[in-house]
Structure 1
Amino acid sequence: MKHLVKFVTLSLSCLPTALQAVELHEIEVRRGTDGLVHAPIELANDGTRALSCTAQLAHWYSEAVAEVPAGASRSIDLWFDPATASFVRLNALEDNMPVEALWCGAAGKAYETRAALPLPRDDAGPRRIVCAATEQSTTCE
């Protein structure tokens, strides 16, 4: 017991150094569409199962962007910044939210059956992507 108390006391004495505060700096958030190119994706579901699509945004945030019934299509609204070669989504305040990845999968098992949607940085115009999901996987072209 005596050794445990010494260990806990020693461990706690190191804690303040390990938990030092991080200085936060104000950053400028880009808003609106000035300088951006509209790059919507028409997503067609050619399969027999509904699709659920998600955008992985910067900083480990994800957003559901489309639910597409079998045989239907939906538009995913994206913008492209030619200066940074990045795709963004706009939130309600029109903040530019960088898109790191976009994927679709079978509704109810979207993550397990997902397929990445191509986001080519050299051709950012409107595009059409056709997907089909099964119980085990999803394909998108």
Structure 2
Amino acid sequence: MTAPAFAAQHSVEIAITNTGDAGLDCGAAIAHWFSEDLGRIAPGETLEFSFGYDLATGTVFRLNEAGDEMAVQRVWCGLAGNAWPTRAEIPLERRAGEAPAPVALDCAAVEGTTRCTAKAAE
């Protein structure tokens, strides 16, 4: 009997809460060529999503339809309908050998930009 090469699945868990008065759209740049809509967040709502994480290399990835690991280059949220120009970058830890901590942010579109802060401990 052989052990699987990848015995435990790792992931990066992300929760974005919209603390502002306007909707937010979130997206990701995947493998340099693609972008993916991650969802819209109404005021007062939270969007939760996750990406795979390769513990050996620190690579954050999304599986495509064929099961290939597509590297996640960046993640952002911005004002709904104008997310890219008003975006706030969502930080992704990438450290080989270390499992990433969950990301929990409060974000709001304010004065033509989006600002995110670490979510206050509950």
TM-score normalised by the chain length of structure 2: 0.79
The equivalent of 1:26 in structure 2 is none
1:131 aligns with 2:107: yes
> What secondary structure does 1:133 align onto?
strand
Unaligned segments of structure 2, at least 5 residues: 1-5, 118-122
Report runs of 4+ in structure 1 exceeding 6 Å deviation.
none
Distance between the aligned counterparts of 1:58 and 1:91, measured in 2? 11
The equivalent of 2:31 in structure 1 is 58
Distance between the aligned counterparts of 2:51 and 2:9, measured in 1? 10
More strand by share: 2
Q: Judging changes above 3 Å, is the alpha-carbon distance between structure 1 residues 37 and 134 closer, same or farther for their aligned structure 2 residues?
A: same
1:94 aligns with 2:70: no
Unaligned segments of structure 1, at least 5 residues: 1-32
Amino-acid identity (%): 37
Larger Rg: 1
Distance between the aligned counterparts of 1:78 and 1:121, measured in 2? 12
1:47 aligns with 2:20: yes
Q: Judging changes above 3 Å, is the alpha-carbon distance between structure 1 residues 127 and 84 closer, same or farther for their aligned structure 2 residues?
A: same
| Shift of residue 134, structure 1, vs aligned partner | 2.6
1:72 aligns with 2:51: no
Q: Judging changes above 3 Å, is the alpha-carbon distance between structure 1 residues 104 and 134 closer, same or farther for their aligned structure 2 residues?
A: same
Instruction: Give the total of aligned pairs.
Output: 109
